[in-house]
A and B are shown apart, each in its own frame.
Chain A
Amino acid sequence: MASPQENRPGEEEDEEEELDDSSYKTVKDAVLFAIDVSPTMLERPPASDDKKAERDSPTSAALRCAYELMQQRIISNPKDMMGILLYGTERTDLKDGDNTFQHCYLLSDLDVPSAQDVKQLRDLIENEEEVSDLLKPAKEPASIATVLFCANQIFTTKAPNFTSRRLFLVTDNDNPATNRQDKDTAVTRARDLYDLGCSIDLFPISRRDHGFDRSKFYDDLVYPTSPSDPDAPALPSTATKVAKSGDGISLLKQLLSSINSKSAPRRAQFSVPLEIGPGLRIGVKGYIMIKRQEHVKSCYVWVGGEKVQIASASTTHMADDTARVVEKGEVRKAYKFGGDAITFTTEEFAQIRGCFGDPIIRIVGFKPLDCCPIWANTNKSTFIYPSETDYVGSTRVFSALQQKLLKSKKMGVAWFIPRRNATPVIAAVIPGAEQVDENGEQSMPPGLWLVPLPYADDLRQPPEQVSSLRTTDNLTDLLSKVVENLQLPKGVYDPSKYPNPDLQWFYKILQAMALEEEVPEDPDDKTIPKYKQINKRCAQYLEDFGVAFDSEFKALTAGKSKTLTTGRKRVKASTADDDDDDEDGVKPKPARKKVKTEVKKETASQTPSMTDQEMASINDRGNISKQKVDVLKEFLGARGLDTKGKKLDLVDRVQVYLDRKGL
């Protein structure tokens, strides 16, 4: 367990686990981009009329990637550092007045990015002139040894105790050493970096007339394992794609995809034995592969100085009665019970939770995969992958299990305690097959997934259903046509097609405010359905369904008792309401109060209901507050507005609505 990486400041394992799982230990990551600036790296692809044609030189493509990555990391890893180093430039500048590292230019220092860093990078990409001034290659290129030692110094001073430190090297030169001595120095410097605990990730680019042969030089510099993730072997070098232009997809896209796949260092959340049967344990590590990314919480800032500053908070505990400051050791935990407190000693507290044993994934047995229905989901899944650290032979046994489960469509059922004193979970152990995308890149790794299952305590009953109307075969068939014609591409949900609109909007606004720029107006929300396409593909089927639905509904309800008819009346009332509502047709998103499948508009107005105009005239006469709450609620509800609150609130809301419509 005592791997050298496990005892970093602020990362100690908390023995007494708190209840939420968000207190996972975090690993800080620092990425330094080193981008080669040479005549070939600056060469632009030949001009073309094709809009999709390549425009960027390799260097500027790399800068764009760095820009994208920087913005992305501000969202996903707000505490992590990033820096950009250009090498081979005519200018030498490391922002410290030292010229030791010839032809190295530190574009942005290794640090948590600031809004200014983002702006600087964006200006550089957008402003061609500045680029040509800065991106002027030196007559003689920088030696790789110098670049590596420069990176060594930057990592040592700026990110001394980061667990993960990575150098991203972007170059098209597969043999930068001109003589034996240069190469040896570079090899030594690369080993220094490795010994320092930093890894080199190479992003090779092939030239049009010259492929990139890693074995010439870089295989002597790059190590197969990462110092921060020692026992999970990296993919073999061949799996790292060599990006090249004119290959259908642009160089920029290829680079982005390979850099994205490395954007976050792999972080194991736990390391526990997987007990397949009594006396048969193997080692596995758990990884969180899917987790809801939230935006940063608001904090307090101090605006008293020239520059806005984040105020850092420190918490002291105080006794409520005397306001005496209390040391951490004095604090007792107690449960409230019957208006009183039931206390336990610290040791007893540990025993209460500790009675379920040590961390483990213990397989209790196996079941068919359909014993883990989707409705039983309770929480996100955890990915597990074998590790040889504690048990030699883990990988082959794990592989046998994964392959067997895949083949037989089975799952394991396991008792799962991820960390000491953590809440025991019963989890389905589901096999995951490796998936690769059209470019041959892995899109989902092979392994096993732990899907937490509900306990009896976690199951809720659905509310009772009053009506028992059931579909007919005819209706089901008609609606099935709609389902069949609206399949997502390949019939799968691909998360990469759906950025979180709320998160993106939040950071877009925040970035604009940080840079004191114009705030954008229109959010880009990819989750909004493609209405046009839906209409094109399904209008006819929906029409058929609508007609059939109306007649079958009449037939199904015809023989029913009177109580049902009254029920229907109410429904109809809201129907009419909605139709009126449609007439004004201005609202962006009307919400209807009924099942509506009709194509020809049901113009027959039944019970008269309130239109915007009617409500406006009531309002003008000052009679709005005389309306019944039900009427107001219905009016608001039909327009997709909130119907909660006191009558005053409702009146307010109606007036705001009318106001906005200019009525």
Chain B
Amino acid sequence: MASKEATVYIVDLGRSMGKKNHGRSKTNLEWAMEYVWEKITTTVSTNRKTAMMGVVGFRTDETDVDGIVEKDEYPNIQVFSRPKQFLLPDIRILQEQIKPSSTNDGDILGALVVAIQMINDATTGKTGNPLKFERRIIMVTDGQGPIDADDLDGIVSKLKQDGIEITLLGVDFDDPESGYKEEDKDSDKEEHEAVLKTLIEDSGGNFGTLAVAIEQLAIPRLKETRPTPSYRGTLTLGNNVEYEATLTIDVERYPCTMLAKPPTASSFVVRTDLGSAPGASTQSSATVLGDGEHTNGDLSAVRNQRAYQVDNPEEPGTKMNVGMEELERGYEYGRTAVHISEADSNIVKLETSPALELIGFVAKKKFDRYLPLGRTNFIVPQKTNDKSQLALNCFVHALFETECYAVARLVSKQDKPPAIVLLVPYLEGEVEALVDVELPFEEDMRRYKFPPLDKKYTISGKVILEHRDLPNRDLMSAMSDYVDAMDLSNFGVDDDGNQTEYMKFEDTFSPILHRINQIIRWRATTNTYDKLPDPPQILTKYSVPPADLMAKAEHHLDALKQAGDVKRVPPKEKGRGKRRREDRDKPLSGLDVDELLGNPKKVKIDSQNLIPSFKQALAATDDLDAIQAAADNMGSNIKTYISASVGDSGYGRALEAIRVMRDELTELEEPEIYNVFIRDLKRDVLDGKLKGDRREMWWRIKGSRYGLIDRKRSFASDVTEEEAAEFYKK
């Protein structure tokens, strides 16, 4: 948890803020607000009640400082919001208020006094003590307004006394640090800049030019999380009950990596009960964007309602609803339901006690880097325990010196399932600790096999080293040159201009996380728009090779392309070519099965062997009539499956036959034959012509998307995508 915050933004709303300077397309105010909105929305998105914000404007047309200071002494200063938690409606209201005024009068220092007072009011306890708060004031101005600098010292000492951190960002202020200097600056502004700079420097605040601040907004901010231990206990070697020589170290376990999750969207539905209410209708008709404008007022959360069904024992083949009160907890063992009563619910749990116990050690060199399963944790000694500190440090160094990792069994809490973890020494700067990561169990490994990549076997088992699937020497050396040329380990530049690794972990930012946050914040302050903004460049920077390195490696890449000679398979040709008999797959021996059968010109569709005989019939002929005949035969078999089905018993077979027919006719580029069939089938199914109510069958066809073959799927089809989509609607 972060500490409590009170931040007041002081915004210059003077007439001059409405101008556009230095060829910018935005007014000075719009530009400055880019920064302020970003700050405000970032705070709003944390949803923290303890992050309070207030907003004060100066050089405003009106004066409103009621209840804070004497009105007469602070003209042209307007308080828009006292420190409080900001919500979306607050943003919307503020948006209405932030507009350039028609005056240039109003003193920024006056506004500062107001802001200090506001913070004071909001952060003082009932007894008059200042509460623990982070106090901040952020000012944006173009420095054109008059400044009465008489009480500068008083303000500075008040700021210091209250512990307020002050930041001033000026529109086109000179900033020696970034090297910005405004040409032809008018003398008033120059003078004001100097006064403000003195103020900020004396009170130890931050003084900067707006351009730099906005540029820095692009670097995503990282959320800090206080570490919480997932295990507190001992790291042991040996069993210290049965044996005397054991090692026991008190340790704690904290996250080392943890995937930062983007905010998730929740489900809402537009409320219908408000439809005729006058308020709602005027509001929605006034909106430009339809959906985009709904607020909680006319959106309702969506709840999931679950209904449970079981087979009806009275009437086989039908289902019946059962209420929650009739249901008990259980598990599936294969297709058998096992009932485990509430009282027995712990019976399937393995009883364990918390422990981190060493199993043995493995060599670092032989460890397969791809084995670890999840995120990592630090194992550190128990706090304020010097013995643990020393012992764990010995252990870390012993692993480091022997180039070994430890394998250990971890039970993080009572009765939690044991995990096997790898313990790795971690020595980075001051931090010396262990890092653990989970390793797979036997059941976690899928033993798929793949052919070797550096040799080929013939059917008889002979090894071949030259083959089109194996790289030749040219390709090997081109690849080697290219890989070496694209080395990133010294391509980066650090803050001091030294060579360093390019694309370190800390330089990369989670694209989805920051993208979604960006869009939410942007949308909160944007009412009308044509399209969504692009993601900030920093999120896509590392999605492509660095251009200057690529340029240097270009000729190696060309050589590699040439040696590799990779050809793209045109999309249309994929999967084709197996239609002709001689191209059909052959068994290991290479035997031509059709030849064995005397290459029959015609294959009869066998309802007992429907799918194979259909495929073989199509392979045997080029004749359209024969194809049509095979399809007709297939079609009538499919209908028989459906009409003979008891309940849904035949639907699976029918569905599979439909799929095969659809795929084969697509490949033969005869979509029309299929489309005629499926239209006819749909009619028969829905009209109840296949012995009873077969709507379930139609839902399955629909669910499997076995409808019309459209143009996208087969260029020979005259069915449009819209027609195909329409076909699924009843």
Q: Is the CB of B91 within 8 A of A338?
A: yes
Cross-chain contact B302 with A342 (CB below 8 angstroms): no
- Contact yes or no, B354 A471, CB < 8 A: no
A101 in contact (CB, < 8 A): no
A590 within 8 A of B: yes
A403 in complex: contacting residue of B336, B399, B453, B457, CB < 8 Å: B453
The verdict on B387 contacting chain A, using a C-beta distance below 8 Å, is: yes
Contact A392 B354 (CB under 8 A): no
Q: Looking at chain B's contact residues, is the secondary structure mostly helix, strand, loop, or mixed?
A: mixed
Known: A7-B659, A332-B268. A514 touches B338 (CB 8 A): yes
Stretch at the interface among B119-127, B189-197, B568-576: B568-576
CB distance A310 to B516 under 8 Å? no
Question: Which residues does chain A contribute within 8 Å of B659, judged by CB atoms?
Answer: 4, 7-8, 161
CB-defined contacts of B534 to chain A, threshold 8 Å: 355
Query: CB distance B267 to A333 under 8 Å?
Result: yes
- B615 contacts chain A at the CB level, 8 A cutoff: yes
Interface string of A345-364 (1 = CB under 8 A from B): 10011011101110000111
Q: From A215, A225, A531, name the one whose CB has the most chain B CB atoms within 10 angstroms.
A: A531
> Are A232 and B350 closer than 8 Å at their CB atoms?
no
Residues 360-401 (chain B) with a chain A CB within 8 angstroms = 360-363, 366-376, 378, 380-381, 383-391, 393-399, 401
Query: CB of B646 within 8 A of chain A?
Result: no
CA distance A149 to B501 in the complex (A): 63
Closest CB in chain B relative to A64 CB, distance in Å: 18
Residue from A193, A301, A315, A470 within 8 A of B339 (CB atoms): A301
Specify which chain B residues have a CB less than 8 angstroms from the CB of A595 in the assembled complex. 248-250, 385, 387-388, 390-391
Partner of B506, one of A115, A367, A459: A459
Given A308-B337, A399-B454, A591-B234, verify A191-B593 contact (CB < 8 Å).
Answer: yes
Q: Which chain A residues border B328 with CB–CB below 8 Å?
A: 300-303
Asked if A482 contacts B244 (CB within 8 A), the reply is no
Q: Is the CB of B401 within 8 A of A476?
A: yes
Q: With the chains together, A300 CA to B327 CA distance in Å?
A: 6
Residues of B within 8 A of A498 (CB): 420, 441-442
Minimum CB distance partner of B570 in chain A: A390
Q: Are B450 and A471 in contact (CB under 8 A)?
A: no
Complex interface: chain B residues within 8 A of A23 (CB): none
Residues of chain A contacted by B458 (CB below 8 angstroms): 236
Min CB gap B422→A, angstroms: 7
Tell me if B343 is interfacial: C-beta within 8 Å of chain A: no
Q: Which residues of A have CB within 8 Å of B272?
A: 319, 322, 324
Q: Is the CB of B310 within 8 A of A466?
A: no
User: Within residues 542 to 558 of chain B, which ones have a CB less than 8 A from any CB in chain A?
Assistant: 542-546, 549-550, 553, 557
Q: A-B contact count, CB below 8 Å?
A: 884
User: Which single residue of chain A is at the shortest CB-CB distance from B233?
Assistant: A591
- List the one stretch of A87-95, A131-139, A562-570 in contact with chain B: A562-570
State whether the Cβ of A47 lies closer than 8 Å to any Cβ in chain B. no
The answer to whether A527 touches B442 (Cβ under 8 A) is no
Q: How far is the CB of A237 from chain B (nearest CB, A)?
A: 5
Question: Whose C-beta in chain B lies nearest to the C-beta of A233?
Answer: B451
Q: Which of B240, B501, B613 has the most CB of A within 10 A?
A: B240
Cα distance A305–B315 in the bound complex, in angstroms: 13
User: Are A401 and B335 touching (Cβ within 8 A)?
Assistant: no
**B505 CB contact (under 8 Å) in A214, A215, A312, A376:** A376
Interface residue from A366, A386, A597 paired with B487 (Cβ < 8 Å)? A366
Smallest CB separation, A166 vs chain B (Å)? 14
Q: Are B369 and A500 in contact (CB under 8 A)?
A: no
Known A-B contacts A374-B422, A379-B374, A423-B512; the reply to A12 vs B705 at CB < 8 A is yes
Complex Cα spacing A29 to B94, Å: 60
Are B444 and A500 in contact, with the CB atoms below 8 A?
A: yes
CA distance A378 to B612 in the complex (A): 47
A224 to B223, CA, bound (A): 53
- A341 in contact with B359 (CB, 8 Å): no
* Across-interface contacts of B362 in A (CB, < 8 A): 487-488, 491-493
Q: Among the listed A447, A470, A545, which residue makes an inter-chain contact with B432, where contact means beta carbons less than 8 Å apart?
A: A470
Is the Cβ of B257 less than 8 Å from the Cβ of A454?
yes
Tell me if B330 and A308 are in contact (CB < 8 A): yes
A391 near B246: Cβ-Cβ < 8 Å: no
**What chain A residues lie within 8 Å of B557 (beta carbons)?**
277-280
**Interface readout for B254-269 with A: 1 if CB under 8 Å, 0 if not?**
1111111111111111
Question: For residue B1, which residues in chain A have a CB less than 8 angstroms away from its CB?
Answer: none
Q: Is A42 interfacial (CB-CB < 8 Å)?
A: no
Q: For A223, list chain B residues within 8 Å (CB).
A: 585-588
Whether, in the assembled complex, A460 has its beta carbon less than 8 Å from a beta carbon of chain B, the answer is yes
- B285 CB-CB contact with A under 8 Å: no
- Chain A residues near B565 (CB-CB < 8 A): 393
Checking B322, B332, B404, B450 against A296 with a beta-carbon cut-off of 8 angstroms, the contacting residue is B332
User: How many whole Å from B591's CB to the nearest CB in chain A?
Assistant: 5
Q: Which residues of B contact A112 (CB under 8 A)?
A: 334-335
Pick from B357, B369, B471: contact of A374, CB below 8 A: B369
The smallest beta-carbon distance between A389 and chain B, in angstroms, is: 7
Cβ of B355 < 8 Å from any Cβ of A? yes
Tell which of A377, A457, A469 touches B376, judged by Cβ atoms closer than 8 Å.
Answer: A377
Q: Is the CB of B322 within 8 A of A460?
A: no
Residue in B334, B510, B588 whose CB lies within 8 Å of A224: B588
Closest B residue to A331 using CB positions: B267
Interface residues of B in 317-348 (CB under 8 A from A): 322, 324, 326-340, 347-348
Known contacts A333-B268, A375-B256, A592-B240; is-contact A469 B303 (Cβ 8 Å) = no
Judging by beta carbons under 8 Å apart, are B398 and A357 in contact? no
Neighbouring A residues of B268 by C-beta, 8 Å: 331-334, 341, 343
* A660 contacts the other chain (CB 8 A): no
Contact call A570/B426, Cβ cutoff below 8 A = no
In the complex, B276 has a CB within 8 A of chain A = no
Residue A400 interfacial (CB < 8 Å): yes
A375 close to B426 (CB less than 8 A):
yes
- Mark A434-472 against chain B: 1 for CB-CB distance below 8 A, else 0: 100000001111110101011111111111011111110
Compute how far the CA of A374 lies from the CA of B88 in the bound complex, rounded to whole angstroms.
Answer: 43
Q: What are the residues of chain B within 8 A of A220 when measuring CB–CB?
A: 587-589, 591
**Separation of A545 and B247 alpha carbons in the complex (Å):** 9
Within 8 A of B (CB), among A517-536: 519, 523, 525, 527-531, 534-535
**A105 at interface (Cβ–Cβ under 8 A)?**
no
Stretch from B95-103, B139-147, B649-657, B670-678 contacting the other chain:
B649-657
Query: Is B520 engaged at the interface, CB distance under 8 Å to the other chain?
Result: yes
B2 contacts partner chain A, Cβ-Cβ < 8 Å: no
Residue in chain B with minimal CB distance to A456: B506
Check A471/B393 contact, CB under 8 A, given A196-B611, A238-B457, A460-B227: yes
| A486 / chain B contacts, CB cutoff of 8 Å | 237, 358, 360-361
Question: Which residue of B327, B440, B535 is within 8 Å of A292 (Cβ)?
Answer: B440
Most buried by A among B245, B393, B564: B245
Check B178 for interface membership: any CB of A closer than 8 A: no
Tell me, in angstroms, the Cα distance from A116 to B91 when the chains sit together.
65
Nearest neighbor of A317 in chain B, beta-carbon distance: B302
Known: A377-B372, A460-B256. A311 touches B322 (CB 8 A): yes
Q: Could you tell me if B269 and A326 are in contact, using CB atoms closer than 8 angstroms?
A: yes
Among B88, B225, B305, B560, point to the contact of A338 (Cβ < 8 A).
B88
Give per-residue flags for A206-238: 1 if the beta carbon is below 8 A from chain B beta carbons, else 0.
000000001100111111110000001101111
Stretch from B158-166, B292-300, B683-691, B718-726 contacting the other chain: B292-300
Q: Once bound together, how far apart are the Cα atoms of A280 and B310, in whole Å?
A: 55
Residue B417 CB within 8 A of the other chain: yes
Shortest distance from the beta carbon of B421 to any chain A beta carbon, whole Å:
10
Q: Do the beta carbons of A415 and B330 come within 8 Å of each other? A: no
**Known contacts A529-B409, A595-B385: does B450 contact A476 (CB below 8 Å)?**
no
**A443 CA to B388 CA in the complex, in Å?**
40
Beyond A2-B574, A187-B593, A514-B333: 8 further Cβ-contacts under 8 Å?
Answer: A112-B335, A309-B310, A371-B501, A447-B453, A457-B222, A458-B510, A460-B256, A594-B385
Can you pick out 5 interface pairs between chain A and chain B where the beta carbons lie within 8 Å of each other?
A239-B457, A301-B329, A302-B310, A365-B486, A476-B398
Which 3 pairs between the two chains have the least Cβ-Cβ distance? A502-B417, A301-B330, A238-B461
